[in-house]
Amino acid sequence: MAVKKFVTGCFKDEEVLFPAVKKTRRAGYKIHDVFTPFPIHGLDKAMGLRDTSLHTAGFIYGISGTATAVGFITWALTIDWRLNFGGKPFFSLPAWIPITFELTVLFAAVGMVLTFCYLCQLAPFVRKDHFNPRSTDDTFVMALECTDKTNDGEAVSFLQGLGAEEVKVEYRETGWWIGRYDSEKKRFEKTGEAAAAQS
Amino acid sequence: MSLLRYESQVRPALVEGDKDYHQVTEDICRPVEAKPSKLWWTGFLISVLMLVFGIVSVTMEVMYGTGQWNLGKTIGWGWDITNFVWWVGIGHAGTLISAILLLFRQGWRTGVNRAAEAMTIFAVICAGQFPIWHMGRVWNAFFVLPYPNTRGPLWVNFNSPLLWDVFAISTYFTVSLLFWYSGLIPDLATLRDRAKKKWRKVFYGVAAFGWTGSTKHWQRHEALSLVLAGLSTPLVLSVHTIVSFDFATSVVPGWHTTIFPPYFVAGAIFSGFAMVQTLLVVTRKVLGLQEYITLEHIEVMNKVIVLTGSIVGIAYLTELFMAWYSHVDYEWFAFKENRVNLFSPYGWSYWIMMGCNVLSPQIFWFRKMRRNLVVTFFMSILVNIGMWFERFVIIVTSVYRDYLPSSWSTYYRPTIWEVGFYMGTFGLFFTCYFLFSKFFPVIAIAEIKHILKRSGGNFKDKMGGIEVETVNQFGDKHLHEH
């Protein structure tokens, strides 16, 4: 990942944020992300994000759990070591339903959470550049990514016109690194000017 | 204000008072960021002392065997399995609130779900102790897992309900933990970003996994919560069903009934809600969260208690009727002589169960009682006593007189170490709960914010006019907003 240049604006109300997101996209700006303190239904659609496939992944993990349980129990009780439980058949599927079900749920849940953490790059000791610490409290932060063609000044006044407060041009690290939240140390110690000179 | 957010005025506000997003954060984070009070220290130390007593009791059991618990040939399951089923049952209300009510789109769950889920996890940890230490030779506990061994390999019996229990309880614990923690991550990030002290920044920084609140992440988070809720719903039903199979698949009179799974699940939710009430009536007062856990929340949960209590009551009467109707002598004997007969050795426990579980919750048919905190607290304790006795009745009154009168047990009473172990799990439970309420937000901050503009008191008041306006009036006022 790299340090990039952003124009960020803060919104205090999602009623203002929604039309702002739509107008920003229509104006052709590239929205890097919108950071919100809670999930806002429909914002992903408004930003043009595609639906998540996490459900599908969960389904695949689930059926692999089912297959593991049925396969393993069948092998253990009918092939590897046959045991006679009161003359019942070796292949007694109804009695295996509980464990099969539990493993289906277990595989699906664990798999989905791990996939979620992988996709969102979440883990203990992971540090990410925080655009605005109040975005976990009461502020909706929209970050526009600046390209070569972006005119900073225009973007700033555009966001201000949409009702954004504290509009700033900032250099931000987009990836994650191993770091602690009590120090301000970034992954790459670059001043704004240095990054600008490089780009 | 767009019309999409409108919710009928008939529904009472879920968040009282004049709140905005920042105020919600402040209110819920305040108890976490303040120094612990003397009350907290007192409660915490008492819990730790009980936990220590529990550890001593368990040590006695490990050193001298399950005979320390007055268990023998006739009474093989006594207090320990009673406590196990009781604790597991308590856990179920948390999953019901967090998962089933999420699927049913019940907004009121947001006020209570975080604490209830935490309760679930701690209750399952407590429950798990009993079957593990009951094994006696606890160092062989891993024998229950299907691992390649040098005894054949001889696999575990996948047809046995006791093994189903191993899978059910461990899956339940894992999934509940994942569900709870994934919901907690955004709120931990809120605490991290508010932290002033170094240790808080480090602790919540590590715990929040680097959450930023990105829209894409929220989208995945929502999907994850929904699917985990969908998985937890059948899971919670399966877990207590499987626990009831421990009894129902045997041929012991009083256990061998098909009604057990639904009856156990209803009972579990019943006792779990009672425990939620016990905890929250105190928590909301001590932490000053009355505006988030309102009387409405308490009332709704009391309605669930009277509903599930009555289901349990019908189940008691059904199994009693079936015992008579079946014309099986042993079954009828177990019910008539061992349970219903007040003058039999354990007859008193059956009637405590009936009184606490079936009769006493009927008081909640009255709105005034449902909204009375003292009555609610008292009732929640009573229900949990009743539900403990339900499991005691099922287990002990069925096994103390079996098919062979010569092996009938003399009067079974627990030893101090058996009681101590039970007290120890209370210590464990409350130690965990005290730590949780000190270091984690007891209410889901992000979820409260999500419903704030729909169900918050001040926002509802502003929209009160909509219901009495004509279409034209409404149009004039709102149509040209965008």
Q: Do A35 and B211 touch (CB under 8 A)?
A: no
Q: Which domains does chain B have, with CATH numbers?
A: 15-148+160-458 (1.20.1630.10)
Residue B3 confidence class, pLDDT cut points 50, 70, 90: very low
> CA of B294, closest CA in chain A: separation in Å?
22
Q: How far is CA B53 from CA A88, B60, B67, B71, B420, in A?
A: 46, 11, 19, 20, 6
* Per-residue pLDDT, A189: 57
* Per-residue pLDDT, B17: 80
Closest listed residue to residue A134, CA positions, set B213, B449, B78, B337 = B213
Residue A113 confidence class, pLDDT cut points 50, 70, 90: very high
* Per-residue pLDDT, B9: 74
Among all chains, which residue has been given the structure tokens 């499991």?
Answer: B391
The H-or-E segment that residue B382 falls in is helix B373-399
Per-residue b/e over A97-106, b at no fewer than 16 CB within 10 Å?
Answer: ebbbbbbbbb
3-state secondary structure of A34: strand
Q: Output the average pLDDT for chain B.
A: 89
- What's the half-sphere exposure (Cβ side, CA atoms, 13 Å) at B115? 28
pLDDT digits (tens, 9 = 90+) for B143-175: 999 988 888 788 998 999 999 999 999 999 999
Q: Do B216 and A49 touch (CB under 8 A)?
A: yes
* Per-residue pLDDT, B301: 92
Name chain A contacts of B234, Cβ cutoff 8 Å: 101, 105
Cβ under 8 Å to B: A residues 4-63:
15, 19, 33-40, 43-44, 47, 49, 51-52, 54-55, 58, 62
Q: Do A113 and B178 touch (CB under 8 A)?
A: yes
How far apart, in whole angstroms, are the C-alpha atoms of residue B8 and residue B454? 9
Residue A107 confidence class, pLDDT cut points 50, 70, 90: very high
* Per-residue pLDDT, B149: 87
Of the partner residues A81, A83, A101, the one whose CB lies closest to the CB of residue B238 = A101
**Best residue in A49, A77, A136 for a mutation probing chain B (most B CBs within 10 Å):** A136
Q: What is the CA radius of gyration of chain B?
A: 25
CA angle B185, B438, B105 (to 5 degrees): 45
Q: Judge whether residue B190 has pLDDT over 90.
A: yes
Closest residue in chain B to residue A128, using alpha carbons only: B210
Residue A193 confidence class, pLDDT cut points 50, 70, 90: low
Of the partner residues B213, B449, B482, the one whose CB lies closest to the CB of residue A135 = B213
Name chain A contacts of B194, Cβ cutoff 8 Å: 133, 137
Rounded mean pLDDT, B116-136: 93
Amino acid letter, B170? S
Name chain B contacts of A112, Cβ cutoff 8 Å: 224, 227-228
Q: How far is CA A60 from CA A105, B178, B248, in A?
A: 11, 18, 33
* Per-residue pLDDT, B1: 40
* Per-residue pLDDT, B377: 94
CA angle A173, A162, A19 (to 5 degrees): 95
pLDDT digits (tens, 9 = 90+) for B332-347: 999 998 899 999 889 9
How far apart, in whole angstroms, are the C-alpha atoms of residue B28 and residue B16? 14
* β-bridge partners, A8: A143, A168
Q: Judge whether residue B124 has pLDDT over 70.
A: yes
Closest residue in chain B to residue A20, using alpha carbons only: B482
> CA of A198, closest CA in chain B: separation in Å?
27
Amino acid letter, B64? Y
Name chain B contacts of A180, Cβ cutoff 8 Å: 201-202, 205-206
How far apart, in whole angstroms, are the C-alpha atoms of residue B384 and residue B272? 8
| Percent of chain B with pLDDT strictly greater than 90 | 60
CATH architecture of A3-50+130-198: 2-Layer Sandwich (3.30)
Interface membership of A101 toward B (CB under 8 Å): yes
- Which residues touch B352 (CB under 8 Å, ≥6 apart)? B385, B386, B389
> CA of B468, closest CA in chain A: separation in Å?
24
* β-bridge partners, A140: A11
Q: Do A122 and B185 touch (CB under 8 A)?
A: yes
Closest listed residue to residue B456, CA positions, set B7, B13, B133 = B13
**Best residue in A41, A72, A102 for a mutation probing chain B (most B CBs within 10 Å):** A102
Residue B241 confidence class, pLDDT cut points 50, 70, 90: very high
Identity of the highest mean pLDDT range in A168-172, B34-38, B177-181: B177-181
Rounded mean pLDDT, B104-115: 87
> CA of A101, closest CA in chain B: separation in Å?
8
Q: Judge whether residue A9 has pLDDT over 50.
A: yes
- Which residues touch B172 (CB under 8 Å, ≥6 apart)? B91, B95, B124, B235, B236, B239
Rounded mean pLDDT, B306-331: 93
pTM (two decimals): 0.92
Which of B9-23, B33-47, B103-117 is predicted with the least confidence, judged by mean pLDDT?
B9-23
How far apart, in whole angstroms, are the C-alpha atoms of residue B341 and residue B397? 11
Helices and strands (H and E) in chain B: how many: 18, 0
pLDDT digits (tens, 9 = 90+) for B51-67: 999 999 999 999 998 88
* Per-residue pLDDT, A1: 60
CA angle B229, B233, B239 (to 5 degrees): 130
Interface membership of A85 toward B (CB under 8 Å): yes
Name chain A contacts of B212, Cβ cutoff 8 Å: 35, 128, 130-131, 135
pLDDT digits (tens, 9 = 90+) for B350-363: 999 999 999 999 99
* Per-residue pLDDT, B319: 92
Q: Do A35 and B195 touch (CB under 8 A)?
A: no
Which of A113-127, A164-178, B21-35, B411-425 is predicted with the least confidence, judged by mean pLDDT?
A164-178
Closest residue in chain B to residue A32, using alpha carbons only: B214
Q: Taking the domains of chain A in order of start, what are their residue ranges?
A: 3-50+130-198, 54-120
Rounded mean pLDDT, B118-133: 94
* Per-residue pLDDT, A178: 83
Rounded mean pLDDT, B22-26: 90
Interface membership of A142 toward B (CB under 8 Å): no
Q: Judge whether residue B397 has pLDDT over 70.
A: yes
Rounded mean pLDDT, B271-281: 93
Which of A25-29, B51-55, B59-63, B450-454 is predicted with the least confidence, judged by mean pLDDT?
B450-454
Q: Judge whether residue B2 has pLDDT over 60.
A: no
Q: How far is CA B373 from CA A139, B272, B273, B290, B380, in A?
A: 37, 18, 15, 12, 10
Closest listed residue to residue B188, CA positions, set A136, A196, A38, A106 = A136
Name chain A contacts of B195, Cβ cutoff 8 Å: 181
